[in-house]
Amino acid sequence: MSAGAADDLIAESIAKVLVDGFNRHYRLFHESSALAKWRFEEARWQEVQQAVRDRIQFYDDRVRETTERLHREFHADDLSDAVWQQAKLQFIGLLTNHKQPELAETFFNSVFCQILHRTYFHNDFIFVRPAVSTEYIESDPPTYRCYYPNQAGFRASIRQVFLDFAWAREFEDLDRDVDFVLRGIGSQLGTIPAREANLQIQVLNSAFYRNKGAYVIGKAVNGAVEYPFAVPVLHSPDGKLYLDTVILDAWRIGVLFSLSRAYFMVDMEVPSGYVQFLRSIMPNKPRSELYTMLGLGKQGKTMFFRDLIFHLHHSADQFIVAPGIRGLVMLVFTLPSYPYVFKVIKDVFGSSKEVDHETVRRKYQLVKQVDRVGRMADTLEFSKVALPRSRFSQELIAELYKEVPSLIEEDGDDLIIKHLYIERRMEPLNLYLEKVEKAGRDDLVEEVVREYGNAIRELAIANIFPGDLLWKNFGVTRYGRVVFYDYDEIEYMTDCKFRRIPPPPNFEAEMSGEAWYSVSRMDVFPEEFETFLLVSDNIRDAFMRYHADLFDAGFWQNTQEQIRRGAMQDFFPYPDSLRFCNVFGGGQTV
DSSP string computed for 31-95: HHHHHHHHHHHTT-HHHHHHHHHHHHHHHHHHHHHHHHHHHHHH-GGG--HHHHHHHHHHHHHHT
Rounded to whole angstroms, the Cα distance separating 246 from 220 reads 13
For 230, phi then psi, to 5°, come to: -140, 135
First CA to last CA distance, the chain: 72
How far apart CA 422 and CA 371 sit, in angstroms, is 19
What are phi and psi for residue 96, nearest 5 degrees? -55, -45
Long-range CB contacts (< 8 A, 24+ apart) of 103-106? Answer: 103/22, 103/26, 103/271, 103/296, 103/298, 103/299, 104/18, 104/19, 104/22, 105/130, 105/131, 105/132, 106/298, 106/299, 106/302
Q: Which of 378, 468, 486, 488 is catalytic?
A: 378
Whole-number Å distance between alpha carbons of 309 and 303: 10
Classify the C-alpha dihedral 515-521-522-524 as positive or negative.
Answer: positive
Residue 321: DSSP 8-state = E
Strand partners, 200: 221
Label the pairing between strands 213-222 and 208-210: antiparallel
Paired sense of beta strands 523-524 and 497-498, if any: parallel
Do residues 66 and 21 touch, judged by C-beta distance below 8 A? yes
Active site residue 140: no
- Residues 241 and 218 sit within 8 Å (Cβ to Cβ): no
In one-letter notation, the amino acid at residue 457 is: R
Residues labelled as active-site residues = 378
